[in-house]
Amino acid sequence: MIRLENLTKSFPTPWGRKTVINNCSFTFPSGVSVALLARNGAGKSTLMGMIGGTILPTSGRIVKTGTVSWPVGFRGSFHKEMTGAQNVRFVARIYGVDTEELVGFVEDFAELGAHFHAPVRSYSSGMISRMAFGVSIGIPFDTYLVDEVTAVGDANFKRKSRMVFLERMKSAGALVVTHSMGQVRKMCQAGAVLENGKIRYYEDIEEAIARHQRNMGSAEED
């Protein structure tokens, strides 16, 4: 469960402060994959960052029960001079999971071949993203934060990523940000629409999509 209590986030701009989350109180339920829908610039990534602990709120607080992942696919924490395998072992020790089990999962999932045992500085952007997703989804959390992660890789990798994600959702929940309504329908059971600093929850994902599309003034069906 993730609960927002009188949460506010604003930023200074040349035209004054811009508020993206405005004294918002809301609870994301446990064990549900929820799509976070909003127009560009409305605060989706900012809210994800606050929940993940990388962005501080202006006021209010976030209360979390159970374990919550970092944003799935986040790749900023890898040491570039270490190999992929060494990085995975390091993350496994930090989170107290079986080291060799996580290494085996990521090596198989990311499809890096011999590169898995080469320094990360030699990786392409796509290779780092595939490894980052493998590390993120390879650790069992109660709630996963997912931000456009299925956009990584070719069609086969996207399909595999979605299947692994859905398997995790049998025993966990998620907060998902994606611009693709097709992905929303495949990955989420419910929706939360962020508009004008407030969140409205819909148990029916189709109702959430319809509300979001009215806000956008379009009928996107990616």
- Average pLDDT over all residues of the chain: 90
Share of the chain above pLDDT 70, in %: 93
Predicted confidence (pLDDT) at residue 29 exceeds the cutoff of 50: yes
User: Residue 222 has what pLDDT?
Assistant: 43
Q: Is the pLDDT of residue 41 over 90?
A: no
| pLDDT given at position 221 | 45
Residue 218 has pLDDT above 80, yes or no: no
pLDDT at 32: 95
Structural domain boundaries in the chain: 1-67+142-222, 79-140
Give the separation between CA 110 and CA 52, rounded to whole angstroms.
23
pLDDT of residue 74: 67
Residue 179 scores a pLDDT above 50? yes
Examine the pLDDT at 188 and tell me if it is beyond 50: yes
pLDDT in tens, 144-169: 998 876 556 677 888 888 888 889 89
Residue 202: band (very low, low, confident or very high) from pLDDT cuts 50, 70, 90: very high
CATH assignment, 1-67+142-222: 3.40.50.300
- Between 133 and 194, residue with greater pLDDT: 194
Cα–Cα distance measured from residue 18 to residue 211, given in angstroms and rounded to the nearest whole number: 23
pLDDT given at position 75: 63
Q: What is the DSSP string of 60-127?
A: EEEEE-S-EEEEET--TT--TTSBHHHHHHHHHHHHT--HHHHHHHHHHHHT-GGGGGSBGGG--HHH
Give me the mean pLDDT over the 60-66 stretch: 94
pLDDT single digits (tens) 10-21: 999 899 999 999
106 token code pair: 């990521």
Residue 199, beta-bridge partner list: 194
Percent of the residues in the chain that have a pLDDT greater than 90, as a whole number: 68
pLDDT digit string (tens) for 93-120?
999 999 999 999 999 999 999 999 999 9
Please give the average per-residue pLDDT across 27-54, as a whole number. Answer: 92
Tokens coding 122: 């030699």
